[in-house]
Amino acid sequence: MSFVQPPLPYDLKDLAPFVSEEQMMFHYGKHHAAYFTNLNGLVDGKPESELPLRKLVIEAPAGPVFNNAAQAWNHSFFWHCMSPGGGKAPSGEIASMIERDFGGFDKFKEQFSTAAVKLFGSGWAWLALDPSGKLEIMPLGNADTPLKYGKEPLLTLDVWEHAYYIDYRNARPKFVEGFWDVINWEFVNKNLKSPF
Ligand code: MN
């Protein structure tokens, strides 16, 4: 069995102007696709190829299998974190949790953006749920994910340069700013109930 890249939950052009169709063609069509190709090459014929991707991410030791499995999973999750009708303020349960744990949406927005902008090198800014039920902002390098720390991913932003190089060149802060216009808070709320 091999791992298959899931379809995007919208069209390549649908997140414009936050990210252009060309940017998505490269990010989804080349970078994300390559992690699946690489992963399948690494696990071909091995027992790991039979695991659900999420389980493989949790169980794989540091190394190429983990890197490619986690990058495959992280991106599939990331596409759902955005929606053409997204943005605005959070609603539902996540809104009250943000209020409780960060003292308001504006403070959360500032802390998450700072974490995303300051993350050194390549990586992901995550909002995760601690087993105690508390929200946590986790800036993690390369392919690293809250799943490795027993925490549930709720929201993520890819800050690898390949996520924004076509539209924003080197300007990560502008890319991070635009993310707030497309966040799919329904998906974030859904992750509180049923893990992706
Ligand atoms: Mn990426």
**E runs forming strands in the chain:** 123-129, 135-141, 152-158
Please check whether residues 63 and 108 belong to one and the same domain: no
Q: What is the pTM assigned to this prediction?
A: 0.97
- Residue 1: is its pLDDT beyond 70? no
Distance in angstroms (rounded) separating the CA atoms of residues 196 and 192: 10
CA of 6 to the centre of ligand 1 (A): 15
Nearest Cα to 71, choosing from 30, 42, 32?
32
CA of 126 to the centre of ligand 1 (A): 14
Q: What share of the chain in percent tops pLDDT 70?
A: 99
Domain that holds residue 143: 92-193
Please check whether residues 96 and 184 belong to one and the same domain: yes
pLDDT tens digits for range 103-144: 999 999 999 999 999 999 999 999 999 999 999 999 999 999
pLDDT tens digits for range 145-190: 999 999 999 999 999 999 999 999 999 999 999 999 999 999 999 9
CA of 163 to the centre of ligand 1 (A): 5
CA of 71 to the centre of ligand 1 (A): 8
Please check whether residues 97 and 180 belong to one and the same domain: yes
CA of 72 to the centre of ligand 1 (A): 9
Please check whether residues 67 and 125 belong to one and the same domain: no
